[in-house]
Amino acid sequence: MADRARDPHSPAPPPGADPIAFPFAPPAPDASAVEVAPGVLWLRMPMPMQLDHINVYLLDDGDGWFIVDTGLHTADCKARWETVAASRLAGRPLKGLICTHFHYDHAGLASWLMERFGIPLWMTYGEYFTMRALGERLPDPPPDGLVDFHRRAGMPAERIARMLAGLRRDPFMPPQPQSFRRLRAGDRMHIGGRAWQIIVGEGHSPEHACLYCADDAILIAGDQLLPRITSNVLVSSVEPEGNPLQLWFDSLDRLERLAPHTLVLPSHERVFRGLRPRVAELRAHHRQQFALLAAALAGRQRLSAFEAMQVLFSRPLSPAEDMMALGETVAHLSWLRYAGEIVRVLDEDGVYRFAATG
């Protein structure tokens, strides 16, 4: 990994740039569908959590259909797919499943859909094998590296225990698919007369597949580009010295080069236009996070990652949110560290603390 990180902050859109617009009302999460382009159906699957839905898509291939993403491994989502198969496919079969990335709201029903409908799975190599590696329930006792990562971040022992206990109770862990067909950056999938180019994003997950039809300027964006919320970009015990925010900024650069009038089909919230203004908003969000950390580290102040987390996330957090918030805080600290703006020292108590340079 390079020691210096490139500045991710390109200028904001010029005055008069098109605003973010939402041309379609969303479907209800009840197997309803909205056609956002000929042969492209937008559906929603329910999620029993604060983020209460995931968008999934059906692509008409003439003699059958492709699914993009799955929903959670729940009886409710299975029932919705049964309704979709019975009412939305015009009597034609499902032909394949494409999962943008390994997170279980996107791939949790992959194994069930493959078996139930006899269809293959397309994923990138990095996403498939990350899913297989991380798809088991957290053991008790937990791996030493997982505990040490949070301990070195300054998280109190009782908070670590609460977080791990919450993760063990996760009700959505799915069975894992045993095979896949590999997607690579630059590949083209020909579905329904469209050529969908695979654009790989990083940062949120290791090898996230977006699908882009240049002829019609349609982007199936997964979690790489959401219209209102920001995707979680975190450092974890799996790659504790990673710099995922730099990978995220590089991925935004790739998306920003697409046609400005692109219709973006995200995995959460609403289908939208305004790709470039949204990329600018995401960059501005991370600039704000960097500024908050820089202010907290001003002078001779030294903070652990857990203390810095209180700066970025002031509200009470659930165990799962603890994991994501700490990982995202470490990601911001790591970007600043690789950029040479802060330093990290392992103190005598075994906790990493960060301070401004100079």
Query: Which CATH code for domain 139-172+297-358?
Result: 1.10.10.10
Q: What is the mean pLDDT of the chain?
A: 93
Q: Work out the pLDDT band at 71, boundaries 50, 70, 90.
A: very high
Per-residue tokens: 63 = 């003699």
> 263-266 and 272-273 as β-strands: parallel, antiparallel, unpaired?
antiparallel
Q: Specify the pLDDT at position 139.
A: 84
Angle at which helices 319-338 and 305-312 pack, to 10 degrees? Answer: 110
Confirm if 91 and 77 have CB atoms less than 8 A apart.
Answer: no
Q: Specify the pLDDT at position 287.
A: 97
Per-residue tokens: 292 = 């908050």
Confirm if 251 and 201 have CB atoms less than 8 A apart.
Answer: yes
Q: Specify the pLDDT at position 17.
A: 52
**3-state secondary structure at position 184:** coil
> 40-46 and 53-60 as β-strands: parallel, antiparallel, unpaired?
antiparallel
Q: Work out the pLDDT band at 56, boundaries 50, 70, 90.
A: very high
Query: Which CATH code for domain 1-135+174-286?
Result: 3.60.15.10
Q: Work out the pLDDT band at 44, boundaries 50, 70, 90.
A: very high
Confirm if 191 and 59 have CB atoms less than 8 A apart.
Answer: yes
Average pLDDT over residues 94-119: 98
> CA geometry: angle at 78 spanning 76 and 82, to 5°?
115
Domain ranges of the chain: 1-135+174-286, 139-172+297-358
Inform me whether the pLDDT recorded for 278 exceeds 80: yes
Query: Which residues have CB under 8 Å from 335's CB, separation 6+?
Result: 5, 243, 245, 246, 290
Distance, CA of 106 to CA of 97 (rounded, Å): 11
Average pLDDT over residues 87-109: 97
Distance, CA of 159 to CA of 298 (rounded, Å): 27
Inform me whether the pLDDT recorded for 163 exceeds 90: yes
Amino acid at 104: Y
Write the pLDDT tens digit of every residue in 174-190.
Answer: 999 999 999 999 999 99
Q: Work out the pLDDT band at 18, boundaries 50, 70, 90.
A: low
Average pLDDT over residues 279-302: 95
Cβ neighbour number for residue 349 with a 10 Å cutoff: 10
Per-residue tokens: 139 = 């053991």
**3-state secondary structure at position 100:** coil
Q: Work out the pLDDT band at 13, boundaries 50, 70, 90.
A: very low
Inform me whether the pLDDT recorded for 70 exceeds 80: yes
Inform me whether the pLDDT recorded for 9 exceeds 50: no
Provide, rounded to the nearest whole percent, the portion of the chain with pLDDT above 70.
95
Q: Work out the pLDDT band at 339, boundaries 50, 70, 90.
A: very high
**3-state secondary structure at position 87:** helix
- Going from the C-alpha of 221 to that of each of 57, 68, 150, 201, 341, the distances in angstroms are 11, 11, 31, 9, 32
Residue 70's nearest CA partner among 138, 127, 129, 134 is: 127
Q: Specify the pLDDT at position 2.
A: 29
Distance, CA of 11 to CA of 133 (rounded, Å): 39
- Greatest Cα pair distance in the chain: 68
Confirm if 215 and 208 have CB atoms less than 8 A apart.
Answer: no
The count of residues in the chain is 358
Residue 65's nearest CA partner among 192, 155, 181 is: 192
Average pLDDT over residues 25-48: 97
Inform me whether the pLDDT recorded for 314 exceeds 90: no
CB-count burial class (<10 Å; 0-12, 13-18, 19+) for 137: exposed
Strand partners for 123: 182
Determine the distance from the C-alpha atom of residue 181 to the mean position of all C-alpha atoms in its chain, rounded to a whole number. Answer: 21
Confirm if 147 and 108 have CB atoms less than 8 A apart.
Answer: no
